[in-house]
Amino acid sequence: MPEQAKKGDTVRVHYEGRLTDGQVFDSSEGGEPLEFEVGSGQVITGFDEGVQGMSVGDKKTIEIEADDAYGQRNEALTREVPRDSMTLENDPQPGMNLVLQLPDGNEIPVAITEVTEETITLDANHPLAGHKLIFDIELVGVTEAA
């Protein structure tokens, strides 16, 4: 009987991730499979749970609600800042991604969502927050936990 993926095993999967409208946001096609330890928190909860019980060669589609993926959007993570308070190399445009340095030295990725003459709106939510995610996955390898 083929080895089934379980907590503690290291698995290798090929995958394609898409939104409910069909837009593909990530895929391992043409590259190396994703490798992670099941149950270790290296991938989002729904993906981790989705591979458990699969055998090498199995393919399946899993649907992951936002709460088991990147969570719901949090409007508190959106800020409007004066345009002249930011020094940017390029003219700010909606869709641009930046990394802000916090006073404590940590960095957070943000996206510019709106630009006016006076302000820039920054969003620190994960780009996939609030979205249901659909993954087609194929288990291509299992290394049993030692």
pLDDT in tens, 24-39: 999 999 999 999 999 9
Question: How far is 123 from 74, CA to CA, in rounded Å?
Answer: 9
- Between the alpha carbon of residue 72 and those of residues 8, 65, 104, 136, the distances in Å are 28, 10, 26, 22
Question: Which one, of 78, 88, 86, 75, lies nearest residue 119 by Cα?
Answer: 86
Q: Where are the alpha helices (H) located in the chain, listed in sequence order?
A: 45-51
For residues 103-126, give the mean pLDDT.
Answer: 93
75-123: which CATH architecture?
Answer: Beta Barrel (2.40)
User: According to the model, what pLDDT value does residue 91 have?
Assistant: 87
Domain with CATH 2.40.10.330 in the chain: 75-123
Per-residue pLDDT for 1 more than 60? no
Strands 107-115 and 97-101: antiparallel
* Of the candidates 136, 139, 137, 135, the residue with the CA atom closest to the CA atom of residue 55: 139
pLDDT for the residue 2: 59
| Average per-residue pLDDT for the chain | 93
Q: Is 146's pLDDT higher than 80?
A: no
What does the block give as tokens for 3?
Answer: 């080895």
Once rounded to an integer, what is the mean pLDDT over residues 48-73?
95
What is the CATH topology of the domain spanning 10-71+128-143? Chitinase A; domain 3 (3.10.50)
Q: Which residue has the higher pLDDT, 129 or 89?
A: 129
Question: According to CATH, where is 3.10.50.40 located in the chain?
Answer: 10-71+128-143
